[in-house]
Amino acid sequence: MIDLQKKDSVYILTMDAGENRWNTTFVREFSKALDEVEKDDGPGALVTCAKDPKFFSNGLDLDWVKTPANHPEGGDREVFGEEFMFLMGRMITLPIPSICAINGHAFGAGFMLSLSHDVRIMREDRGFVCANEVQLGMKIPRPELALFRHKIPANSFFETVQLSKRWTGPAALQAGIVQSIESIEELKEKVTSFSNSTKRIPNLTDYMVLLAIAFGTVGLSHLGAEYISEFLTSNFEAVADKSSGLSSFASKFFWMISIATFIGIGLSFTKAKNFEGVGASKIGSIFIYILVATIGMKMDLGSILDEPKLILIGLIWMSIHAVLLIFVAKLIRAPYFFLAVGSQANVGGAASAPVVATAFHPSLATVGVLLAVFGYVVGTYGAMICTWLMEYTSNL
């Protein structure tokens, strides 16, 4: 169904299931292949293609979607949407360059898979790419629509989504949907050559520049946090008042994390993003673990026995937190990533939320930081409400 081979530093993932239609079983087999790719810490790239010369991927397994009971080999229908979208997210945030060799028709979910790659190279003499959901009377999911908006130029977006236009290789190249077209004989060689050109072995200069960016960002964050915190507390009484809901903005740690995050996001739009190829995320993860270990070293375990009632309150508090979080996640069908990271962002804050985020994918550490910073703001008011409720119940 999915064949994964490694040639030098380039992984070649070949879909080998006929038309390569998507169901839960196919999603999970594809995910297993990505697990192998992500385990490799060295430089590399991923090339995705299909064995069938006519079909790259012909979209959803419609027979299975309509009557899953008659096609048990397709897997659990109820979890397909969540697992498929999570897989597409993994492709988009893959920490190595990804190249899609569209050697045949790519419709619906197959088209979405191709767009989740960094680069698309299409066969020039055969095959179409098409978002055919409208033709089938189906609603395009919001994540897929967002991907189309991001990857397809505005002048081609309407024709792709509303008119379900079938783009040939030359037309897709002119529309900006693919980056190159080749004959079928040259297609795999072209993408393999491109992959080899993007791989990079880090040297001393790379590490020195990475550390300079890291420590420079930390220094600027500390300096900015100092000035912003002092300015706000000196000029705004509501911020200086510790009982105020705006007191979070007086925290130097809050501003340090915020500034560092904004600098990191800003650098991701510059050439600095290329340092991901030499292991920037892995080095960042090391410093996150050092931060968590430093915080843990300040803990006094002996103090737990002084107030055992607080342990009970904490258990009740965490139980309510877990039940409420799971209920809301089920209600909105949120991926487990947001369930875990959202929980840690509320409980552990910016120190530990990125650690949980990186367990799903190294490039999601920033998401953990942003959720944690947002949790600081919302959590202040939540803590005040909890305090008032506890004070009220203590007087009953």
CB 62 within 8 A of CB 22: no
pLDDT at 186: 61
Q: Considering its fold, how many domains does the chain have in total? A: 3
> Looking at the structure, do residues 119 and 212 belong to the same domain, yes or no?
no
Query: Residue 360's pLDDT is what?
Result: 60
Please give the full DSSP string across 130-181, using - where no structure is assigned.
E--TTTTT-PPPHHHHHHHHHHS-HHHHHHHHTS---B-HHHHHHHTS-SEE
User: What are the Cα distances from residue 79, in Å, to 23, 149, 314?
Assistant: 10, 25, 33
Residue 296 lies in a domain: no
C-beta of residue 1 within 8 angstroms of C-beta of residue 16: yes
188 with 222, same domain?
no
Distance separating alpha carbons of residues 84 and 91, to the nearest angstrom? 11
Residues 217, 277: Cα–Cα separation, whole Å: 20
- Residue 189 shares a structural domain with residue 225: no
Looking up residue 82, the CATH number of its domain turns out to be 3.90.226.10
Tell me which of 173, 198, 223 is where a domain ends. 198
In a domain, 295, yes or no: no
What residues of the chain score a pLDDT lower than 70? 183-201, 245, 276-277, 279, 281, 285, 292, 301, 304, 333-338, 345-352, 354-381, 383-384
Question: DSSP letters along 11-77, please?
Answer: EEEEE-STT--B-HHHHHHHHHHHHHHHH--SS-EEEEEESSSSEEE--B-HHHHH-GGG-GGG--S
Instruction: Flag whether 394 is in a domain.
Output: yes
Are residue 27 and residue 153 in the same domain, yes or no? yes
* 96 in any annotated domain: yes
- Do 102 and 14 lie in one domain? The reply is yes
Domain identity same for 36 and 79: yes
Name the β-bridge partners of 48.
13, 100
224-253: pLDDT as tens digits: 999 998 998 888 887 788 777 677 778 888
**One domain, residues 98 and 125:** yes
Residues 108 and 233 both lie in one domain: no
Quote the pLDDT of residue 205.
Answer: 86
Residues 167 and 237 in one domain: no
Which of 198, 229, 251 terminates a domain? The answer is 198
Is 286 inside any structural domain? no
Q: What is the pLDDT of residue 377?
A: 61
Its domain, for residue 274, covers 203-278
Tokens of 107: 């419709």
Nearest in space to 281 (alpha carbons), one of 346, 221, 219, 354? 354
Q: Let me know if residue 46 belongs to a domain.
A: yes
- The structure tokens 């300096």 sit at 223
Q: Can you tell me the distance from the alpha carbon of 373 to that of 377, in angstroms, rounded to the nearest whole number?
A: 7
Same domain, 43 and 153: yes
Predicted pLDDT of residue 129: 93
- 198, 225, 255: which is the final residue of a domain? 198
Give the pLDDT of residue 310: 76
Contacting residues for 172 by C-beta, under 8 A, at least 6 apart: 122, 129, 178, 181
Residues 96 and 237 in one domain: no
Structural tokens at position 316: 């009740």
Q: Is residue 47 part of a domain?
A: yes
d(CA 344, CA 355): 9
Residues 140, 62, single domain; the answer is yes
pLDDT at 26: 95
Q: Dig out the tokens for 375 from the structure.
A: 């949790």
Structure tokens at 389: 């409720």
Query: What is the Cα–Cα distance from 361 to 36, expressed in whole angstroms?
Result: 13
